[in-house]
Amino acid sequence: MATDSTTITQEQQELAGQYLTFRLQQELYGVDILKVLEIISVPVITDVPKSPATIKGVINLRGRIIAVLDLRQKFSMPPIDIDRESCIIILDLAEVNGGQIGILVDRVSEVIDIEAEEIDTTINTQDQSAQAIKALAKNEQGITILLNIDELES
């Protein structure tokens, strides 16, 4: 889904690549595969008092304490019970704060290649949570919402 012109922008070229896709409700989301460290089943999540509503809690992953972001809460979706398909994707935020974060998702789908011409960067919304959305991609899977993981915590 290219922009109105037939030329590919520099931004579209930079966003093209491999994405790990996952589901929240019926929607398909994607994160840059190079930012994915691992995918784990949902362990015990410890609540942290007075943390932001979007933070589900923290987990102990082989001695590392990692905050878990509830993407359903972030995007104002109704909560669901965690089931056997639910998982946590551990992302590398080294460029932001030298750390890692986990995102709780309904289920992981697959790794897909997204071409520059499939990307639409003309998202126009005033919602602050939409800052975490960097583009949309239209391909054989339908529409994939590409996330900007550097903006997920804000």
Check residue 4 and give its pLDDT.
Answer: 46
Residue 1 forms part of a structural domain: no
Half-sphere exposure of 40 (CA within 13 A, CB side): 17
Residue 3 forms part of a structural domain: no
**All residues at 6 or more sequence positions from 117 whose CB lies less than 8 Å from its CB, including other chains:** 2, 8, 12
Three-state DSSP at 7 gives coil
128-147: per-residue pLDDT in tens? 556 788 899 998 878 999 99
12-62: per-residue pLDDT in tens? 999 999 999 999 999 999 999 999 999 999 999 999 999 998 999 999 999
Residue 64 forms part of a structural domain: yes
94-120: per-residue pLDDT in tens? 765 558 999 999 999 999 999 999 999
- Considering the entire predicted model, what is its pTM? 0.87
Residue 5 forms part of a structural domain: no
- Domain containing 18 equals 10-151
Number of domains, the chain: 1
Residue 26 maps to which CATH number? Answer: 2.40.50.180
